[in-house]
Structure 1
Amino acid sequence: MENKSALLYDVLIVGGGSAGAAMASRLSEDSSRKVLLLEGGKAYAPDAYPEVIAIADHVTGDKDHDWGYFANTGIADRKIHAFRGKVLGGSSGVNAAVAMRGRKPDFDKWVKLGLKDWAWENVLETFKHLEHTNDGDDAIRGRNGLFPIRQVPMDDLTPGLRAFVNATANTGFNRVADFNGYEQDGVSPYPLNVLHSVRENTGMTYLNAEVRKRPNLTIIGEQTVDRVLIENNKAYGVITADGKEYQGKEVILSAGAYGSPAILMRSGIGPKEDLEALGIDVIKDAPVGKKLYEHPFYYNIYELKKEANAMSPGAGAILWTGSSIAPEGELDLHVSATHFFDPSLTETGGAIVLACAVTTPQSKGSVKLQSADPLAAPIIEFNLLKEPDDLHRMIEAVKISRRIGLDAAFEPVKQREMFPGDAVEDDVELTKAILEQIDVYQHPTSTVPMGLETDPEAVVCRWGKVWGIQGLRVVDASIMPYIVSSPPNVSTVMIAEHIYRNDY
């Protein structure tokens, strides 16, 4: 029952990550709107983040800034880390800071589901609105937004990363001037949300010092939310794991592709049979957690020669291209070159990772509750490469990567191939290596998907409002109906901005 003594906010946001921080910033621009942001991790001041979060060469954080989740790959009972940032800024504080937009073909798929407001010409304006960059063409790049994006120059790359770019071009791929420009099919150094080696997460940018001075914005860290409080199909607040109650006229879940579905399910919104089995009262039977997408990732790793073993900056360059079975215009493969590897595992003190990904996977996983306990990790099932086309494309990506590794331009920096290793030669051996070593890009999406009310997979409407529940909205990567073919962080920020610009 509603607690009349609890402080009432106009908007209560759960999760201060890529989307939640943007929502809190934008919604609090109206001084008459009282906004509360609850973050499960620490809420550092913009200039007080520890190095493991602030410095771009550190990725995946540490145990103090991670939710500690593991996931089943779906292959041979193998489990892997499912890293998620537990800090104000969320996973934008622990990711590789790659700032590449989703592409028009990605959003065309959304439009086919009836989500016409997410057509490319509409989202492009929002991408421009959020961005602050000096790069690219004025017609399609943003100059005045809150999110800084910078193209890394070739001269700033390590010898290994430069060799990757040159070898990829030698192998027959285009050189791309600007991945956030007109053409993306080819190779280039990354655009990053990094300034002076600092990963500019949304806790620093959208929740900068000036924003945090607003008297109508309250940010409270280290608050793990248990569930949404709902009465007569209307949300009126949340309760935390330690029993604190916060009330709001509107509740926005921005807890990410694992956190948001888990909170919904604990609140009684989710698959009826699953909730009943855990003794949770069902408020709305909905396909929450049924459509998890993740980019499968395989690491083709090379030891670098001692004279070329520089490993900073860690994130450097990428090939984005289409497989032999990609639909017209779709770029469904990445080969991403980074130095995110422990150099102590090499003899020369340096390595380069050519990480291969399928960017438009067909295989779907799931997120479920293991119990109603808000401190219990969800059950995450990736079902990686279950669809034959996904495995076919991954094999193709690794073959491209290894071809780059054999190019003459790569030879001056390469000591040896570490994984899968020279002994792996034919498709049978390569498939075995991929299946045994498969990982993920740490890009979970689509567990609370948008769609029309008649769509059997949809949980929320085009603006993130939960179908059938008043005053409850989800705004984060979980509402993507399909995963985008780029690292999804900038697209997640765009989702928050797009919903704010169109529905507030």
Structure 2
Amino acid sequence: MMAAPRGKTLGGSSAVNAAVAIRARDADFAKWRAVGGDGWEWSELLQDYRAIENTPDGDDRLRGRHGPLPVRQRRPDDSTRGSTAFVEATANLGFARVEDFNGAQQEGVSLYPLNVVSGRRINTGIAFLDDGIRARPNLTIRGGVEIDRVLIEGGNAVGVVDANGQTYRAHHVVLSAGAFGSPAILLRSGVGPAQRLEALGIDIAADLPVGQGLQEHPFYYNIYNLKPEANSAHPASGAILWAASSLAEPGDLDLHVSATHLFPSDQSPTGGAIVLACAVTQPESRGFVDLVDRNPRSAPRIRFNMLNTQRDMDRMLECVKISRSIGRRAPFANLIDSEMTPGSHLADGSPALRQAIEQSLDGYAHPTSTCSMGRPGEGVVDSGGRVYGVDGLYVIDASIMPQVCSAPPNITVMMMAWHLSRRTFGVKG
């Protein structure tokens, strides 16, 4: 059993995530273009990233200065000793130092850039729905509404029906309920695999692979107890190594080692801990999202199937080996009391270590690809987010990514919404 938390509030999961503001890479979008993601060209997407961002950091040619979303680079003087020592130790192992993950170079180690200002998370509800936007007469925000299904008449989306049976009519319907919510709504609407819909007694509006292809970044926690003099846990978000495994495809950066203090201090015998979280960021493994029944208040069935290929597992083992090498390297090692997990008695690459990873594997909370864009007959939506077979119905969220990107998808999802609002609907920024 694995937790799958999502933000069910204004701002969605940007209200509950780690607020990491790192862009996806052109190598990620190249994979989208290869399966029918026409129009997702880096030169255009870079301008959309820049349009949503305001930051004092980085190169003027690559960074945005006037957008609604503030992005701030963590500095050593506002980070913990553990986080800065992680950066130093990683560099001492030979990995490059990265000045700006949203600049020209991503391979290496640095403190995080975050959409956090003065300790305050600036989620999408704050950044993009300011007082001026909220005052527009053509915008109504309603809280506490749970959508059951899309109302489809004659092959056209004409509104939505909520869980209480109330209907909201519309000329167009855009779903942005995420990689779990959007496929669940589509399936209840009759948009999905025909055989599965028939088994649930749902009339078929469009036979599409909704819910298939779920991806998530597999996450394993290499945890260290800190010495009492180094057990500060604020701020929690620290630093990250972004690297290529020995099995990476050309141009890919497919491993993360993320240093954070997201571990309960009362569970550490020393009163403080630091997590070096290991992730495979370009996984092959795929799962699915399905309905258990037609009730909109029933949680969907989620199967991640992470690390279910040998290559994915081999890359995770390599990532954990890198993480533990950092753990043994000064100056990080000088702050460590002991390794909590997997424990120093387990050797790198051993069958026992593999078993430990399998038994305590978690997700990065980056689910994607359950309403994937693709060519007709292959995808759920086209490259503009339009659902095949239902006029006036769109999906714009992480579910339409053909493959999970190699960075935390936080600001990439925001960029996608900006990009498609401009490209599909002609909205001017």
Q: 2:365 aligns with which of 432, 442, 449?
A: 442
Return the letter of the residue paired with 1:467: Y
Cα offset, 1:209, TM superposition: 2.0
Cα offset, 1:115, TM superposition: 2.1
Report if the CA contact (8 A) 2:107-2:242 is conserved: yes
Please give the per-residue CA displacement for 1:211-266, whole angstroms capped at 9, x wherever unaligned: 11112210001100000000110010011001111010000000000000000000
Please give the per-residue CA displacement for 1:434-465, whole angstroms capped at 9, x wherever unaligned: 011100000000100111214x2x00011101
Report if the CA contact (8 A) 2:254-2:406 is conserved: yes
> Are 1:361 and 2:283 matched, yes or no?
yes
- In structure 2, how many angstroms separate the alpha carbons of the residues matched to 1:211 and 1:114? 34
> Are 1:96 and 2:18 matched, yes or no?
yes
> Are 1:330 and 2:260 matched, yes or no?
no
Q: Unaligned 5+ residue runs, structure 2?
A: none
SS at 2:369 equivalent: coil
- In structure 1, how many angstroms separate the alpha carbons of the residues matched to 2:48 and 2:111? 24
Runs of 4+ in 1 over 3 A off after TM superposition: none
> Are 1:474 and 2:395 matched, yes or no?
yes
- In structure 1, how many angstroms separate the alpha carbons of the residues matched to 2:77 and 2:278? 24
Task: Within 5 Å, give how 1:266-415 maps onto structure 2.
Answer: 266-415=188-337
Q: 1:210 aligns with which of 121, 132, 141?
A: 132
- In structure 2, how many angstroms separate the alpha carbons of the residues matched to 1:179 and 1:245? 45
SS at 2:209 equivalent: coil
> Are 1:142 and 2:85 matched, yes or no?
no
Cα offset, 1:114, TM superposition: 3.0
Report if the CA contact (8 A) 2:96-2:107 is conserved: yes
Matched with 1:10 is: none
Task: Within 5 Å, give how 1:138-287 maps onto structure 2.
Answer: 138-287=60-209
Return the letter of the residue paired with 1:453: P
Cα offset, 1:412, TM superposition: 2.1
Matched with 1:453 is: 376
Cα offset, 1:86, TM superposition: 1.1
Matched with 1:120 is: 42
Please give the per-residue CA displacement for 1:265-284, whole angstroms capped at 9, x wherever unaligned: 00000011111111111111
Matched with 2:423 is: 502
Report if the CA contact (8 A) 2:225-2:338 is conserved: yes
What TM-score results when the alignment is normalised by the length of structure 2?
A: 0.98
Please give the per-residue CA displacement for 1:113-150, whole angstroms capped at 9, x wherever unaligned: 23231011111111111111111001011111111111
Further displaced range: 108-117 or 302-311: 108-117
Return the letter of the residue paired with 1:235: A
Please give the per-residue CA displacement for 1:66-115, whole angstroms capped at 9, x wherever unaligned: xxxxxxxxxxxxx1110101110010000000000000100011111232
- In structure 1, how many angstroms separate the alpha carbons of the residues matched to 2:189 and 2:55? 41
Return the letter of the residue paired with 1:263: I
Return the letter of the residue paired with 1:94: V
- In structure 1, how many angstroms separate the alpha carbons of the residues matched to 2:365 and 2:19? 12
SS at 2:277 equivalent: strand
SS at 1:177 equivalent: coil
Cα offset, 1:210, TM superposition: 2.1
SS at 1:80 equivalent: coil
Report if the CA contact (8 A) 2:52-2:64 is conserved: yes
Matched with 1:485 is: 406
- In structure 1, how many angstroms separate the alpha carbons of the residues matched to 2:353 and 2:101? 30
- In structure 1, how many angstroms separate the alpha carbons of the residues matched to 2:324 and 2:380? 41
Q: 2:354 aligns with which of 398, 413, 431?
A: 431
Return the letter of the residue paired with 2:278: C
> Are 1:464 and 2:385 matched, yes or no?
yes
Cα offset, 1:349, TM superposition: 1.3
Q: Unaligned 5+ residue runs, structure 1?
A: 1-78
- In structure 1, how many angstroms separate the alpha carbons of the residues matched to 2:316 and 2:71? 29
Report if the CA contact (8 A) 2:79-2:235 is conserved: yes
Return the letter of the residue paired with 1:241: A
Please give the per-residue CA displacement for 1:153-208, whole angstroms capped at 9, x wherever unaligned: 12211011111010100111000000000000000000000001111100111012
Give me the CA root mean square deviation: 0.8
Matched with 1:4 is: none
Return the letter of the residue paired with 1:434: I
> Are 1:111 and 2:11 matched, yes or no?
no
What TM-score results when the alignment is normalised by the length of structure 1?
A: 0.83
Report if the CA contact (8 A) 2:29-2:42 is conserved: yes
Tell me how many residue pairs correspond in the alignment: 424
- In structure 2, how many angstroms separate the alpha carbons of the residues matched to 1:119 and 1:109? 11
- In structure 2, how many angstroms separate the alpha carbons of the residues matched to 1:160 and 1:408? 11
Seq. identity, %? 54
Matched with 2:7 is: 85
SS at 2:347 equivalent: coil
Further displaced range: 119-128 or 258-267: 119-128
Report if the CA contact (8 A) 2:33-2:40 is conserved: yes
